[in-house]
A and B are shown apart, each in its own frame.
Chain A
């Protein structure tokens, strides 16, 4: 079945550092890949979507890309701010004809001032 692996459980950076979070996926179709962000005390919200058509998504200074060859997708930001501290989840849309989202385990990003 479809799966998503997000190995970086915690990332700690300083303000203005470069952020790179990676996920790998397994699916039988051309996937739609998503990034959700969850701020403290809130539910997750959609940050970015990447499809095989556009290969890249950009929102709020974040950029998401995917690599079909290595079945991985990435979230990056050139210069993080303390306000970017949150949990970031990668996800993909299930390939089984269902529209269920399969989520990774999440990366807790802490940005130090």
Chain B
């Protein structure tokens, strides 16, 4: 088995602040993802990384940057926090980018609050 660790669990920032969320996985998976979860809106893909040196934009990438520092870690940066940004950010991984991508393994999330 493996685990996805997201830090911090809770993040409080000021409007306009640059904030970074971190994710580590020990599955040895190739592909990692960042999703945003808003109440009543499901999960929306922000960024994903197919392999260690890859970075792809999802449907919700505007206002965010991402970085795949190494195979096991994937960071997300909120470039300028906005009050309507309050949500739970979920990191996930899959074995690779293929049929294995149907099975995502999620972390427990970082809850962002913007004051």
Contacts and interface: CB of A to CB of B under 8 A. Distances in A.
A interface secondary structure, majority: loop
Give chain A's interface residue range (CB within 8 Å of chain B): 20 to 34
B90 to A, nearest CB: 5
Nearest to A4: B42
Given A42-B108, A43-B108, A44-B90, A49 B42 contact: no
B58 interface: yes
The B interface, classified by DSSP as helix, strand, loop or mixed, is mixed
B104 A44 contact: yes
A41 to B, nearest CB: 6
B110 to A, nearest CB: 11
Interface in A65-109: 89, 93, 99-101, 103-106
Contacts of B97: 99
A89 B103 contact: no
Interface of B: 4, 40-45, 48, 58, 90, 92, 97-99, 101-109
Given A44-B106, A99-B101, 7 more contacts: A34-B102, A42-B108, A43-B105, A43-B106, A43-B108, A43-B109, A93-B101
